[in-house]
Amino acid sequence: MQKAVVARVGDYQVRRCEREDVQAVININAETLPEHYSDYFYYEILAEFPDTFLVAEIDGAIIGYIMCRIEYGFSHLKRLGLARKGHVVSVAVAEQHRGKGIGTLLMQTSQEAMARRGATEVYLEVRVTNSEAIALYQKLAYKTASRLEAYYKDGEAALVMAAALGQ
């Protein structure tokens, strides 16, 4: 069966992750980020939020992914009270494919899916030294909401960054 492409940039295609793609996602995560998760965690997120777990591929090879969750809690924007929030849990593009717009497309496509699920904002945590990722989020209108000291196991701080969705 043809897999449904949801977006394209150049020869790259973005489509929903499927169960058989999860191992490739785990491999990209292992190569690109110090934050790893149990295999179970990926399959759980995929089962619960299949429309916001996307992969990017070229010539049948997966070279990037984004996985997100929908949560309900206090707004990270200057809004009062509770909000339905999209949470970008992890996004990565294999090093040799960066700078071609794939990260941007993964973010935008998952944000559209989170908005369709009723999220009014989106947030994420990012290492304070991760300037490429911070530049990507700023380009997409994310603002720093707070800073979490010693958020990562190695002691580094995180920025919580958030943006409004669907307005």
Residues in Cβ contact with 156 at an 8 Å cutoff, skipping those fewer than 6 apart: 127, 128, 129, 150
Instruction: Check binding of 125 to Zn ion (CB under 5 A).
Output: yes
Work out how close the CB of 9 gets to Zn ion at its nearest, in angstroms, rounded to a whole number: 25
Burial of 145 (0-12, 13-18, 19+ CB in 10 A): middle
Instruction: Check binding of 34 to ligand ACO (CB under 6 A).
Output: no
Instruction: Check binding of 132 to ligand ACO (CB under 6 A).
Output: yes
Nearer to ligand ACO, 91 or 115 (CB): 91
Among the candidate windows 4-12, 15-23, 121-129, 154-162, which touches Zn ion by CB under 5 A?
121-129
Look at the chain and count its residues.
Answer: 167
Whether the CB-CB separation of 103 and 11 falls below 8 Å is answered with no
In angstroms, the CA 134 to CA 121 distance is: 17
Q: Can you tell me which of 33, 58, 77, 157 binds ligand ACO, judged by CB under 6 A?
A: 33
Residues 73-112 that bind Zn ion (CB under 5 A): none
Instruction: Check binding of 98 to ligand ACO (CB under 6 A).
Output: yes
Phi, psi of 31 (to 5 degrees): -80, -25
The strand ranges marked E within 75-155 are 82-93, 121-127, 143-148
Q: x-or-dash pattern for ligand ACO, window 135-154, by CB under 6 A?
A: xx--x---------------
In angstroms, the CA 45 to CA 48 distance is: 5
Q: Can you tell me which of 54, 102, 119, 165 binds ligand ACO, judged by CB under 6 A?
A: 102
Nearer to ligand ACO, 104 or 144 (CB): 104
Query: Mind spelling out the 3-state secondary structure of 105-118?
Result: HHHHHHHHHHHHCC
Q: Can you tell me which of 13, 46, 100, 162 binds ligand ACO, judged by CB under 6 A?
A: 100
**Would you tell me which residues interact with ligand ACO (CB under 6 A)?**
32-33, 88, 90-93, 98-104, 124, 126, 130-133, 135-136, 139
